[in-house]
Amino acid sequence: MIKLLQYAVFIVPWFSLLLTSKENRKRYIPVTILSCFIMTIIFQIAYTYEWWEIEKYILPWGYMMDAGFVYGIFAVGTFWIFRFTSDKFLLFICINVIMDGIMTFIILPLLGKLHIAHYVHIHAWQYFLVIFGVSFLLYGYHLWQKEIYQNDKN
């Protein structure tokens, strides 16, 4: 059942992109790809410093990185957050505080109880700061991409 849930977190969110226009996908996929890249790096750092341990995974390298999370729900969640808040910085920050807080203080402790993953050498509030910090990098990148996107349209 846990494997099914992990595959669902990996695959199902991508179907939601069918609910948006081709133009929106073109506009927000670059920041989505960057979010995957940054989270991959963070997971590699976390593996090296044993920030957390991933006990159950769906890909062979899953003990280092939760691919279902990084390339599934996190990536698509990033897409949708930017889709609805990219021009509203304060709303963007508020949504990220809420979503990162839910992930850090509710979802990850639940994953620990399910023996999927658990914190080891990092506190929840430190993880929160890491992923919240990523949102600022992504927003800066998106602003840069926005200029390119607008110049491309002209």
pLDDT in tens, 90-147: 999 999 999 999 999 999 999 999 999 999 999 999 999 999 999 999 999 999 988 8
In a domain, 21, yes or no: no
In a domain, 119, yes or no: yes
Q: What is the mean pLDDT of the chain?
A: 93
In a domain, 153, yes or no: no
- The pLDDT, as a whole number, for residue 20 is 96
Return the exposure string of 70-108: e unless at least 16 CB atoms fall within 10 Å of the residue's CB, then b: bbbbbbbbbbbbbbebbeeeeebeebbeebbeebbeeeb
For 36-90, how does the pLDDT look when each residue is reduced to its tens digit (9 = 90+)?
999 999 999 999 999 999 999 888 877 888 898 999 999 999 999 999 999 999 9
Q: CB–CB of 124/53 below 8 Å?
A: no
DSSP secondary structure letter of residue 59: S
The secondary element (H helix, E strand) that includes residue 118 is strand 117-119
Range of the domain at 69: 28-148
Would you state the structure tokens that stand for residue 137, as one six-digit string? 């990098």
> What domain count does the chain have?
1
In a domain, 20, yes or no: no
Helices (H) and strands (E) counted in the chain, each on its own, are 7, 2
